[in-house]
Structure 1
């Protein structure tokens, strides 16, 4: 006798059908993922596997943690001299070593995420950030505070590196430039506003409250990242072992297109850092203006940079990353040219000092997101390593620019202008190197097809 199996409930049949379709779709994605890559028209590779895209809000949150923690306690620093019974130079180490911690840790966060995935490394980094924040809040000596700040910096840099890498995992080059533009804008806002919050907290609750606030914000971000961020990197091509994980560095540095884009990113940043190093001395010491007036003018310059970031976010997908880099680099050259012309022909005033640099800030805001996205798009399988290496070189070249301005500083604007001009020229040449390399590769790839 034929026994008929009971028919599934209609709702269950729908669920089973949906699961079957999902499985079929996933198999098709995996098959497509095996065919990656560098088949884009501009020579940069596209993401190999379709992954779930995180929201822009959570990427901004994880990226802004480090910059927020950098500046929030600056208003408390003068009072901490008496608290710890030390000198101001020692207190400044909590800022200086934080910057070095961020720079150096970027070299390792990227390769670790390429090997183990973005999500676990990011969550571990935020956890380390929380540990450093708690240590800083409870510190009873300046040595403990400095050590806690270094731990905080290492953990906080995970968001800086992996925010960019996650964007590249889930978006093409132009879309990455757009997303990074918005993220960079938030990175500028965070260190600008955090001292205001820090000053209020220090006034009403004491300096420890700033670190407890950072701890609370970090805990919220960790919870959101745990719930909302999914793994975006599935192409684990890096072998096991600490040395093997670093093999991406020489691979990337031998790539002339990557090197060109990184030169653009690093020396565009150097122009900005050189101005930061020289402008306060010029305005306060040479022009004899009050420090609060410098702060007001600086806000205008920062606003122009954010405007460039905003326009980059809006326009990158429409006109392309390369046009954004070219436009921004040309504006930077025009900016330093105007500044040099003013310095050579007339007496410098605050308005004449800042107006040309506002034009350069707009240009930097336009070019940096696209140049960064282009650098980490060269090898999507090494996006984490590329992001970390780009960030490291960007910060190191910027730091060297500030050091050079400080060494050369006299009673004129010319040392600062010379360093800024050199940086703008090298940044433009770096972009030219990248474009020439990609054009040569595209021509070489097209010639066999023509034959």
Structure 2
């Protein structure tokens, strides 16, 4: 009996829900606690700062103790953090709740990827990664819209109550239907063992090259998320409500690219999807940089180049993760943790750079990192 895929996707996506759902409520939160406009941004910054390192914790623990107990425990932790945010009477308590949310939410995508690796071989890993990417593609786009609706209906605390309710519902389903996939657990686990595990994973040229392709893909997406509000609202004159629809570009690209990636993997052509996707990301990001010198910089032209980038992301990201985890059957949790932490960390750097050098330049840098990593990828080794 296998875990229902929708349950696996829900486990994987809950961290992204927590990251994006409060975004429309940040001004109201800042006003409630009288922390000023910049204080509201801490609600997101603290979450991201905790999210990346906690990914490094849950993977090795799931390698030692199993995927199921880690998922159940972290869903409970996520629900507790969400409730703490909802009832917070001070800004410090709210931020503490966000740390707990991040700690619990960080496990989902790591464990879901590890479970896919546990249960599949060869091209099956890539198909599973592509399906997972497609299933959770809408989360970053629709979470802010849902957050805005909840805030309008019942205030900013409603979003955190909603997150807690969702986590508890997923926890109840997981307790009944989540199947343990880790049948070859690590014998011992301590700080030295964890460090050795991460060193062993990073020592693999195949892992390094593919995870940096994935990092470049996610970095470009984070740069777009960080730089697009100012560009579209201030630069192009869109209202915030209209701008909120633009993340749907990313959903469409990831879904289409992921669908093509699944078909390529069914035919044993994962490498073709990885290469084509990386080329499209590079073309889209460099094309965006070229718009201004050519006198074409406008919202429609930016949308076209962004569409190319996310289409490439949808193609490349599942194959990159499948290839990065391919050698690590026995410690897939450790490999997935390190890959996820690198991806999120790189994304955070790219988002910061978007505010310094501009969104197009930051995205171009990410496209170049992905292309350079693909170029040094070990030859002759690929999923089939």
Note whether the superposition's TM-score is higher than 0.5.
yes
Unpaired runs of 5+ residues, structure 2, are: none
The CA distance in 2 between the partners of 1:285 and 1:206, in whole Å, is: 26
Q: Secondary structure at the match of 1:247?
A: helix
Quick one: structure 1 residues 337 and 78, their matched pair in 2 at CA, closer, same or farther if it must change by over 3 Å? closer
1:218 aligns with 2:167: yes
1:438 aligns with 2:381: yes
Quick one: structure 1 residues 122 and 311, their matched pair in 2 at CA, closer, same or farther if it must change by over 3 Å? same
Which residue number in structure 2 is paired with residue 420 of structure 1? 363
* Deviation sequence 1:70-110 (CA, Å, 0-9, x none): 22222222222332232122222121111121111001111
Which residue number in structure 2 is paired with residue 25 of structure 1? none
Quick one: structure 1 residues 161 and 149, their matched pair in 2 at CA, closer, same or farther if it must change by over 3 Å? same
Which residue number in structure 2 is paired with residue 259 of structure 1? 208
Quick one: structure 1 residues 261 and 136, their matched pair in 2 at CA, closer, same or farther if it must change by over 3 Å? same
State whether residues 162 and 387 of structure 1, in contact with CA within 8 Å, keep that contact through their aligned partners in structure 2: yes
TM-score by length of 1: 0.80
**1:135: how far off?**
1.1
Which residue number in structure 1 is paired with residue 28 of structure 2? 79
2:288 to 325, 333, 339: 339
The CA distance in 2 between the partners of 1:276 and 1:70, in whole Å, is: 12
Which residue number in structure 1 is paired with residue 255 of structure 2? 306
The CA distance in 1 between the partners of 2:149 and 2:288, in whole Å, is: 37
**1:335: how far off?**
1.7
1:165 to 100, 109, 114: 114
**1:259: how far off?**
0.5
* Deviation sequence 1:258-295 (CA, Å, 0-9, x none): 11111111112222223333333334444445444444
1:351 aligns with 2:351: no
- Size of the aligned set, in residue pairs, is 382
Unpaired runs of 5+ residues, structure 1, are: 1-51, 410-415, 440-451
2:357 to 366, 384, 408: 408
Which residue number in structure 2 is paired with residue 128 of structure 1? 77
Q: Which moved more, 1:160-169 or 1:192-201?
A: 192-201
The CA distance in 2 between the partners of 1:201 and 1:287, in whole Å, is: 28
Q: Secondary structure at the match of 2:182?
A: coil
TM-score by length of 2: 0.93
Which residue number in structure 1 is paired with residue 98 of structure 2? 149
**1:132: how far off?**
0.8
The CA distance in 2 between the partners of 1:403 and 1:75, in whole Å, is: 20
The CA distance in 2 between the partners of 1:70 and 1:222, in whole Å, is: 19
Q: Secondary structure at the match of 2:180?
A: coil
**Mapping of 1:11-30 within 5 angstroms?**
none
Which residue number in structure 2 is paired with residue 38 of structure 1? none
1:360 aligns with 2:360: no
The CA distance in 1 between the partners of 2:189 and 2:217, in whole Å, is: 35
State whether residues 214 and 320 of structure 2, in contact with CA within 8 Å, keep that contact through their aligned partners in structure 1: yes
Which residue number in structure 1 is paired with residue 348 of structure 2? 399
Which residue number in structure 2 is paired with residue 245 of structure 1? 194
Which residue number in structure 2 is paired with residue 230 of structure 1? 179
The CA distance in 1 between the partners of 2:277 and 2:308, in whole Å, is: 10
